Amino acid sequence: MKMKCISIKNPVSYLVCYGIADVENRGGTTDYRGPLYIHSSGEFSYAGMPDFSRYPMPVIAEFEKFMTEIEQMEMRGRYLGFPQQGVKVYLKDEERASEKEMREYNLLSDVYNFTIQNPNKPFFLTNSIIGKVDLVDIVEDSKSDWAEAGAYHWIFKNPVLLKKVIAKVPGAPGIWEYEAADQDRRTK
């Protein structure tokens, strides 16, 4: 099966697959609309969270702030420590959380739990097809927090993170095709 793909830098590729980033900023456009597999490119991000400070994500910003405070307390402490396993990550008042906040929390929770269980493995992979979205439109005036002025805004819907990534796939500019073997395709 031929899969239409687009390479997006890590960690934004994961933000797209978790449904946090709904817009990809590009210098050009295409007539294609439909399923688009997300290829994660760039460098690996090892244990813990990569720097998300440039991205509009309040849940993750709050998490990073608290983790920094805990790390500072750990360094200052002479008798008491705060092991990572003792830090509980949960979303307060889930009933009032927006869908966007829930998606951020899910990413944060997945990264945190994976890192505790696999401290020497990267969570954010590269050179891998990691998910799928539907490319529904390309505009120049999206109101999304992810839209950048002067770029074409590729609008994504229906994000899916693959249960098993398709690893060791080199990327390419623009939309490109990957010939997937049946054993490669494993989605949620």
For residue 88, with 0-12 CB atoms within 10 Å meaning exposed, 13-18 middle and 19 or more buried, which class applies? exposed
Q: What are the pLDDT digits (tens) for 126-149?
A: 999 999 999 999 999 999 989 999
Report the Cα 91 to chain-centroid distance in Å. 18
Query: Three-class SS of residue 17?
Result: helix
Query: What is the reported pTM?
Result: 0.82
pLDDT the model gives residue 47: 66
For residue 61, with 0-12 CB atoms within 10 Å meaning exposed, 13-18 middle and 19 or more buried, which class applies? middle
- Give ∠ CA 72-76-77 in degrees, rounded to 5: 115
Q: What are the pLDDT digits (tens) for 14-67?
A: 999 999 999 999 999 999 999 999 999 988 777 667 778 778 888 888 888 887
Share above pLDDT 70 across residues of the chain, in percent, rounded to a whole number: 90
CATH of 1-44+124-188, one of 2.40.50.140, 3.90.980.10, 2.30.130.30, 2.60.210.10: 2.30.130.30
Where do the structural domains in the chain lie, given as residue ranges? 1-44+124-188, 47-123
